[in-house]
């Protein structure tokens, strides 16, 4: 295999933490209140600014709460599920590995009695629904939220970590939304965002789970929402350096046109990949329908007859994606293409070319 004549300007393809915004440098973090308490006035102000900018850029309704929570998107999803599920039956929608993980936690850890793991049909009116908006490890997304009932009685809990800032989220259809800083905006790891609708707050204040909740999952006290969590008073100690980095990413997002500008950038970069796939006869998208194809977590499959004619195990292992990645990394063309745990599986599936594309 010959070395490519042209190399990408940014060759980091990790799905998180993702590549930084254009022009980023450590100087962007100069105003971080390092060595100061997050409970001090300056710390609270930074955390509140991060929440306010999130609301502004994403267009989150004024009556929705936004909180910074521990353990990235995983922590945010777990907080929601452990605190709110069990009040009614729940439908778990899974079309990639992370969604399958939420199913496992609900079935094996919470051990709820009325759980349905389904793809379709699902009941968004009478039951709670947990789903992933954009599948990081499958390259598929829901095209819209029209399938969610307007007059629903249950809650919709949406893991939007690979969708937020690159795809339009219909807030009227979503009661709990989670994401992390490390995806589309290229922030740092370990911090999650939890957004609650008034209906989600009502559930928290009127429903008490049958199981004990760890400290980092508790969002109520005496039957009332702990409002401080959603004003920057975090449950545990955040990294003020990471907070500063997230603020920098949000301020950059405003400069490039806000949410509309970010979506335009993500779609534009996805088109570049689509054009390459169209003219390349040995590769294709894993997601068949363009309408449900992700613009952030692109997953591809090998279509070369020499590969597809092999037995399934040989298709996956000969040559191994890791060896291909090592050769490309040595040439400086790509990094982290094989770093995702539990990638999309199946005959002839290449490791996904994952990059949150809104920064390009």
Within 144-257, residue ranges assigned H as helices are 198-206, 240-255
Cis peptide before 17 (omega within 30 of 0): yes
Q: Which of 192, 224, 253 is the last residue in one of the domains? A: 253
d(CA 277, CA 312): 23
d(CA 317, CA 319): 5
Q: What are phi and psi of 221, to 5 degrees?
A: -145, 120
pLDDT the model gives residue 319: 55
Sign of torsion, CA 283 288 294 295? positive
- Give a yes or no: residue 3 inside a domain: no
List average pLDDT for each run of 10 residues in the chain, which is 360 residues long: 74 85 97 97 98 98 98 97 98 89 95 88 89 92 96 98 97 98 95 98 98 96 98 97 98 98 96 96 94 93 90 69 54 66 51 46
CATH of the domain at 319: 3.90.1150.10
DSSP state of 26: G
- Give a yes or no: residue 107 inside a domain: yes
d(CA 310, CA 315): 6
pLDDT the model gives residue 132: 96
The verdict on 109 and 215 lying in the same domain is yes
- Give a yes or no: residue 28 inside a domain: no
d(CA 177, CA 168): 13
The verdict on 187 and 41 lying in the same domain is yes
Mutual angle of helices 258-278 and 240-255, in 10-degree steps: 80
CA dihedral 208, 212, 218, 223 (to 10 degrees): 30
- Give a yes or no: residue 8 inside a domain: no
The verdict on 228 and 89 lying in the same domain is yes
pLDDT the model gives residue 120: 63
pLDDT the model gives residue 72: 97
Note down the domain range covering 347: 258-359
CATH of the domain at 72: 3.40.640.10
- Give a yes or no: residue 346 inside a domain: yes
| Number of domains making up the chain | 2
- Give a yes or no: residue 155 inside a domain: yes
d(CA 197, CA 67): 12
The verdict on 225 and 272 lying in the same domain is no
- Cα angle 120, 169, 63 (rounded to 5 degrees) comes to 115
The verdict on 262 and 243 lying in the same domain is no
pTM, full prediction? 0.92
- Give a yes or no: residue 9 inside a domain: no
């Amino acid at each position: 295999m010959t070395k490519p004549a042209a190399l990408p300007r940014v060759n980091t393809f990790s799905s998180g933490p993702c590549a930084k915004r254009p022009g980023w440098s450590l100087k962007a973090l100069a105003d971080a209140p390092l060595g100061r308490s997050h409970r001090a006035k300056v710390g609270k102000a930074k955390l509140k600014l991060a929440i306010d900018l999130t609301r502004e850029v994403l267009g989150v309704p004024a009556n929705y709460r936004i909180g910074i929570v521990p353990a990235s998107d995983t922590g945010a999803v777990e907080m929601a599920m452990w605190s709110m599920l069990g009040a009614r039956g729940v439908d778990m929608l899974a079309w990639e590995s992370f969604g399958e993980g939420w199913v496992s936690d609900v079935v094996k850890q919470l051990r709820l009695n009325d759980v349905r793991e389904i793809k379709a049909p699902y009941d968004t009116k009478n039951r709670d629904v947990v789903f992933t908006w954009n599948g990081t490890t499958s390259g598929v997304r829901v095209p819209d939220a029209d399938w969610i009932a307007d007059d629903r009685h249950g809650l919709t809990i949406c893991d939007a970590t690979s969708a937020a800032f690159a795809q339009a989220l219909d807030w009227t259809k979503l009661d709990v939304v989670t994401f992390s800083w490390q995806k589309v905006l290229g922030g740092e790891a370990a911090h999650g965002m939890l957004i609650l609708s008034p209906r989600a707050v009502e559930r928290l204040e009127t429903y008490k789970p049958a199981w004990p909740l760890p400290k980092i999952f508790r969002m109520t006290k005496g039957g009332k929402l702990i409002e401080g969590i959603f004003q920057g008073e975090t449950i545990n100690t955040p990294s003020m350096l990471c907070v500063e980095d997230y603020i920098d990413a949000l301020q950059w997002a405003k400069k490039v046109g806000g949410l509309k500008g970010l979506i335009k950038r993500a779609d534009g970069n996805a088109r570049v990949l689509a054009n390459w796939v169209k003219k390349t006869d040995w590769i294709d998208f894993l997601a068949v329908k363009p309408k449900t194809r992700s613009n952030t977590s692109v997953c591809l499959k090998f279509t070369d007859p020499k590969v597809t004619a092999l037995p399934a195990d040989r298709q996956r292992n000969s040559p191994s994606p890791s060896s291909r990645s090592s050769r490309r990394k040595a040439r400086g063309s790509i990094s982290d293409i094989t770093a995702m745990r539990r990638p999309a599986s199946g005959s002839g599936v290449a490791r996904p070319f994952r990059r949150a594309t809104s920064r390009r």
